[in-house]
Structure 1
Amino acid sequence: MRGVSTILTGLAALACAGGAMAQDVGGPPPPAVPQTAPAAPAAVSEWRTVPAGNLLVIDTNRGQILVELAPEVAPLHVDRIRLLARRGFYDGLAWHRVIDWFMAQTGDPLGNGEGQSPYPDLTAEFTFRRDSQTPFTSVAAPSGALVGFLHSLPVQTQPDAAMALTGDGKVHGWGLYCPGVAGMARDEGNDTANSQFFLMRQAYPALDKRYSVWGMVVSGLEVVRALKVGDGDNGMVTGSPDHMTRVRVAVDLPPDERPTVRILDTGSGTFRAMADRIRATRGADFSVCDITLPVEVTTRQAAAGA
């Protein structure tokens, strides 16, 4: 029986305790950082379209959640999510563990925190390697590090100058657990993630570099936050939990059901101006989690009915 992996706050310590539930994350979270609403971009050319092969469509009884996958950050985990989605593994599964001001967890076929897919556990991808060709945009440089975005995903990384000092010309980077970030649940061991995943309802930096990040919610964060909160031990949902009705990679959906997602390009001038404004407004309290990228979602179905 798998144990429970628990993140503790206070002194930012990490402790593990045995128990009946598998692949859990976290305890009571810290207060959320208020976000500053971004201005809408002006130029159509400054938007980018999320490739259909990198867009996960999660339909739930509460509404639709769209996640941009991040294969540059966690290729093994992204491949597993794609595989399970294409095989219908996630269809009908419950959001079995939901903690307000923290995260919503699913992907367990047993619905009790103990289940997983029939495939082998995954090697942890807590960090990734970044080179000069990686599509990264910096928005701040705290203590010599860089924070910014890889596509829609907030990340932190070593500075570009360090690339000249490494054998492969690359530096370490890692996803930051801001609201909407998608992470993989695991057991006590690092290499024990399988099929269970969680979506962040709020920021929780204590998870950084401890759970593999594989994507970012680009639409539907309000749905994540509307999921029924657990009333049992460790945030387990008792009674009638909310559930996923269908989970597919967008490229596998019929054209008339396939959403098209456009996001403000983080390499654009409009984005840079928006980030500068938010950073100036927040001052010393600025966090990359304060930046919400403008998004447009359309479907052929919706366009035909307009």
Structure 2
Amino acid sequence: MMSRFLLSTCAALAFSVSACAAEAPQDSATVAPTASVTTTADVSAPDSAWRTVDPENLMLIDTEYGMIGVELFPEIAPKHVEQIKTLTRQNFYDFITFHRVIEGFMNQTGDPKGDGTGDSDLPDIEGEFTFRRSPSMPIELIGAQPVDPRSPSKGEVGVGFYKGLPVASQPASQAILTKDGKVDAFAIHCKGVTSMARSQNPNSGNSQFFLMRDTASHLDTQYSIWGNTVMGRNLLTKIKVGNAGEGGFVPDAMKTVRIAADLPEGERPTVQVMKVDSAAFDQFMATQKKADGKYPEICDIAVPTRTL
């Protein structure tokens, strides 16, 4: 079977894709938030400024370094979230290794063979590289970027946060011009985002996925983002770097993977994300501005989270 995620570079059209790039970026960096005991940033905010992640959409990955919590977004990638939940509830991901880990890029896992060629027995799923954003999915905008990061001449879209997930979207004002009252949008491959690995076939997502260690904008609209790290973000860069089968590399593994709702209430963490439409978030964003008064690139900002 063809290895997942080992593809050559190709061009892509805005909001319309076929085969795509999946190579490690030449040079990328992101600014990690300041760690503290209960939050991912040095912030102080009232309880009303925090949103509790639904346990049904919280994936808990236990590693030797600690617990990583990923918020799932069925409203953005429903088929992928359903597949991930199904496999998780089958205990499929238990003890599976991070078989391909690239510094400054991503941690890839989900292969029962451990060499990049394996999948689950479930059918492959269609790519969900973009989504249709309705008025019920507000975005806190912080700037703009090219529609296609490879082709700046194609124009710009607004970038911001949806529930803490970095996204790019056409203006909401254009919704009145569409038949379904929605606009095109896509999530952005920033550090902490979780996305589905695939072969050159855009509709070949199955069980392998990757957690971003850093920014990789060349993957945007090419791979299906379905989640975002909301707990244990600092652990993403602790996973050992290397490729299975090369140079005696012994990869780290996921111990157990569970959906929080399936655990007894007393055994599941309460994970909260700062509401991006709150005054507290506005105050936090003010602290992120650079000397020229502008915001950093969206991937250099991590929406604060906390675990109770």
TM superposition score normalised by structure 2:
0.85
Q: Report the 3-state secondary structure (helix = DSSP H, G, I; strand = E; otherwise coil) of the residue aligned with 1:225.
A: coil
Query: 1:82 Cα shift?
Result: 0.6
Query: 1:121 Cα shift?
Result: 0.3
Q: Distance in 2 between matches of 1:237 and 1:132?
A: 51
Q: Distance in 1 between matches of 2:31 and 2:172?
A: 30
**Does 2:167 align with 1:170?**
no
**Does 2:181 align with 1:181?**
no
Aligned partner letter, 1:152: G
**Does 2:79 align with 1:79?**
no
Residue in structure 2 matched with residue 105 of structure 1 by the alignment: 108
User: Percent identity between the aligned chains?
Assistant: 41
Aligned partner letter, 1:129: R
Deviations 1:140-163 (A, max 9, x none): 245652111111210000001111
Deviations 1:167-210 (A, max 9, x none): 11100111101100000000001000000000000011010000
Q: Distance in 2 between matches of 1:221 and 1:7?
A: 27
**Does 2:281 align with 1:278?**
no
The question of whether the paired residues in 2 share the 8 Å contact of 1:137 and 1:267 is answered with: yes
Q: Report the 3-state secondary structure (helix = DSSP H, G, I; strand = E; otherwise coil) of the residue aligned with 2:80.
A: helix
Query: 1:291 Cα shift?
Result: 1.6
Q: Distance in 2 between matches of 1:146 and 1:280?
A: 19
The question of whether the paired residues in 1 share the 8 Å contact of 2:142 and 2:295 is answered with: no
Superposition pairs of residues 218-229 of structure 1, within 5 angstroms: 218-229=230-241
May I ask how many residue pairs the two structures share in their alignment?
285
Q: Distance in 1 between matches of 2:195 and 2:216?
A: 12
Q: Report the 3-state secondary structure (helix = DSSP H, G, I; strand = E; otherwise coil) of the residue aligned with 2:211.
A: strand
Residue in structure 1 matched with residue 55 of structure 2 by the alignment: 52
Query: 1:257 Cα shift?
Result: 1.7
User: 1:59 and 1:25, CA in 2 relative to 1: closer, same or farther beyond 3 A?
Assistant: farther
TM superposition score normalised by structure 1:
0.86
Q: Distance in 1 between matches of 2:25 and 2:124?
A: 27
The question of whether the paired residues in 2 share the 8 Å contact of 1:278 and 1:290 is answered with: no
User: 1:193 and 1:4, CA in 2 relative to 1: closer, same or farther beyond 3 A?
Assistant: closer
Aligned partner letter, 2:195: G
User: 1:238 and 1:67, CA in 2 relative to 1: closer, same or farther beyond 3 A?
Assistant: farther
User: 1:31 and 1:7, CA in 2 relative to 1: closer, same or farther beyond 3 A?
Assistant: farther
- Any unmatched runs of 5+ in structure 1? 16-23, 299-306
Residue in structure 1 matched with residue 71 of structure 2 by the alignment: 68
Residue in structure 2 matched with residue 258 of structure 1 by the alignment: 268
Q: Report the 3-state secondary structure (helix = DSSP H, G, I; strand = E; otherwise coil) of the residue aligned with 1:112.
A: coil
The question of whether the paired residues in 2 share the 8 Å contact of 1:25 and 1:185 is answered with: no
- Any unmatched runs of 5+ in structure 2? 13-20, 35-40, 146-154
Residue in structure 2 matched with residue 148 of structure 1 by the alignment: 160
Q: Distance in 2 between matches of 1:241 and 1:247?
A: 17
